[in-house]
Amino acid sequence: MTKEECKQVVLDIIAEIAPDEDLSNISPDVRLRDQLDLDSMDFLDIVMELRKQYGIEVPEEDYPQLASLDSCAEYLTPKFKEVSA
Amino acid sequence: METDRGDRHFDTIIIGCGMAGLAAGIRLAMYDRKVLILEKHSIPGGLNSFYSIAGRKFDVGLHAVTNVVPPGHKGTPLPSLLRQLRIPRDAFDLNPQRSSRIAFPGADLRFTNSFGLLEEEVDRQFPGQIEAFRRFRKRILEASPGEGTGVSSRGILAESLPDPLLREMLLCPIMYYGASTAHDIDFSLFVTLWKSVFEEGFGRPLAGIRTIIRALLDRYREVGGTRRMKCGVRRILVDEGIACGVELEDGEELTADRIISTAGEPETRILCGAGEEDPAVQENIGRLAFAETISILSRQPEELGIKDTIVFFNDSPLFHYEQAASDIDLRSGVICCPNNYAYPEGTSLDEGILRVTTIASYENWTAYSQPDYEEAKERWFSRMVESALNFLPGVDPELIRSSTVFRDMFTPRTVRKYTGRLGGAIYGAGRKSPDGTTGVENLFLAGTDQGLLGIVGAMFSGVTIANRHVLMAGRK
Ligand SMILES: Cc1cc2nc3c(=O)[nH]c(=O)nc-3n(C[C@H](O)[C@H](O)[C@H](O)COP(=O)(O)OP(=O)(O)OC[C@H]3O[C@@H](n4cnc5c(N)ncnc54)[C@H](O)[C@@H]3O)c2cc1C
């Protein structure tokens, strides 16, 4: 999975958990929290969906890595590689 | 023959199919946990359930769903709860209140779901207090989560608002919609309740609590959760300080990695083996119990002069909120008129409904023999309605009496019978467990005795505890 695909995965998950958010203009390098109304419970759901849909585990101490789309891609791409290997 | 362990072992067992239990169940089933809700009664909903008498549908409690913000509004408990449960807002059918009131002798503060009206009312009726009131509100809005734990609200009110009557009036709805303690309330809870009542507001589904319970049950089924009704838990099985399962009333045993109890703190302690007379149980039983009258009216309340949605009343400048010394404490209470919500054009409730809540004595109501109990209900019904009507100026008591076509009343005895709440305490234990832990490993409290209550509060609590202690804790 490429970094771009990885970002799309995260966006698709956000669209599912927060259907009332407008995702058309997200800047990848800005914190998601600063662009969208997402609280810590929503971030938990991103983690839970990653586990449920892709078998990816994100331990609690790594939640900050999911702050922006860029940091998500950075952190998650290797994890996607691991699970698909 | 040995039953397959798979049928009798669960990731999580939830005790209670009320608001907290259902919300926790949805969260866990959504993320593929094998979850089972066990409920003593045949009907879900717990303290806010429903029933029918003579073809009429009743809600046990529902006056107002609190925390009701307009659709599209984000960042407060209701929208975040709906997101967590993935239930669309429309499924709860929340119609906003018209207007409510705090009625004390000589002062009347109206409020709606937009804060502006309350501010205007304070400005008009409490000359010179508005700046202090604004500063007090700012302090509340800026409080960080959990701030004010263990701090007296009366203390903070006294240092913030010079006018004693204003302080007492503001406490009245807050205490009535969520204080499990007499006279005063923890400031952190005050902040939560203030927001849920004054900043966010009241709403109600046209068809009452059934709409919300139906939405929760549908969602729970959709995500694969299972439940067993008429299936009381007799005992929580604890092995060397670790909860590992439950024994049901029929003797069957089920095991689980984790147990979430929504039965209450002292009630859960008893399930773990304590006696009802144990000091640790007794000292935490809530001492505030309530009675409620329900009058069904042949006309719409508005035609009879009742314009308010909810009225919080008190008969003197000092607000009375304490354990009742007699059957009923008539000095304060709440009037609710479920008809007076802004339902969509062309829809309304078929009949008029007037509900009156007061503080009542658990001891007195449970001591009555059955015939004396029926007789006492008859007697107090009229007195409760009459005392409440003093706070509805322009409403003719005689007209209300002659328009009443059906009555029902519940007392603390009813609450104990149907929900198992010790002391009939609707708002549960005096001491809460904010982090949901119990001292027994793998056993957690959600709902009322975790500290969040009311319909939205209890659901939110269920979600929080399921997240914190099961989903984030990972698999066993
Ligand atoms: C008359 C009344 C009016 C109210 N009005 C409002 C209102 O207008 N607005 C509002 O927001 N809130 C209102 N409330 C409060 C609100 O209903 C409660 O705060 C909320 O429903 C609590 O939910 P819960 O899940 O924490 O507890 P509960 O509803 O008590 O759920 C616990 C469940 O556990 C079950 N249980 C207990 N022991 C066992 C056992 N051993 N085995 C199996 N099951 C067991 C019980 O039967 C119950 O169903 C009202 C309550 C009452 C009683």
pLDDT along chain A (85 residues), means of 10: 94 94 94 93 95 93 94 95 84
Residues of A in contact with B472 (CB under 8 A): 44, 60
User: Quick one: B350 and B369 in the same domain?
Assistant: yes
| CA–CA gap between residue B111 and residue B6 (Å, rounded) | 54
Please report the pLDDT score of residue B7 as a whole number: 84
- Full residue range of the structural domain in which residue B26 is found: 9-56+208-283+430-475
CB distance B186 to ligand 1 below 6 Å: no
The CA distance from A37 to the nearest CA of chain B, in Å, is: 7
User: Quick one: B365 and B299 in the same domain?
Assistant: yes
User: Quick one: B116 and B193 in the same domain?
Assistant: yes
Please report the pLDDT score of residue B61 as a whole number: 83
Write down which residue in B197, B217, B248 finishes a domain: B197
User: Quick one: B303 and B316 in the same domain?
Assistant: yes
Please report the pLDDT score of residue B2 as a whole number: 40
CATH 1.10.1200.10 for the A3-84 domain, yes or no: yes
Contact A41 B75 (CB under 8 A): no
User: Quick one: B394 and B447 in the same domain?
Assistant: no
Contact A20 B72 (CB under 8 A): yes
Write down which residue in B197, B219, B249 finishes a domain: B197
User: Quick one: B407 and B296 in the same domain?
Assistant: yes
User: Quick one: B403 and B455 in the same domain?
Assistant: no
Cβ contact B473:B465 at 8 Å = no
Size of interface A-B (CB pairs under 8 A): 29
Q: How many domains does chain B have?
A: 3
Please report the pLDDT score of residue A83 as a whole number: 87
User: Quick one: B267 and B310 in the same domain?
Assistant: no
The A-side interface with B (CB below 8 A) comprises 17-18, 20, 37, 39, 41-42, 44-45, 48, 51-52, 60
Domains of chain A, by residue range, sit at: 3-84
Please report the pLDDT score of residue B476 as a whole number: 63
Contact B84 A45 (CB under 8 A): yes
The CA distance from B63 to the nearest CA of chain A, in Å, is: 29
CB distance B452 to ligand 1 below 6 Å: no
CB distance B19 to ligand 1 below 6 Å: yes
Best of A41, A49, A61 to substitute, by most chain B Cβ atoms within 10 angstroms, is A41
Residue B19, both tokens: 């608001």
Please report the pLDDT score of residue A67 as a whole number: 95
User: Quick one: B358 and B270 in the same domain?
Assistant: no
Of B462, B26, B424, which Cα lies nearest the Cα of B227? Answer: B26
Is B238 domain-assigned?
yes
> pLDDT digit string (tens) for B368-383?
999 999 999 999 999 9
> pLDDT digit string (tens) for B458-475?
999 999 999 999 999 876
Contact A39 B80 (CB under 8 A): yes
User: Quick one: B402 and B367 in the same domain?
Assistant: yes
Among residues 312-351 of chain B, which lie with CB inside 8 Å of chain A? none
Contact A37 B32 (CB under 8 A): no
Is B212 domain-assigned?
yes
Contact A52 B32 (CB under 8 A): yes
CB distance B293 to ligand 1 below 6 Å: no
User: Quick one: B231 and B189 in the same domain?
Assistant: no
User: Is the pLDDT confidence value at B5 over 60?
Assistant: no
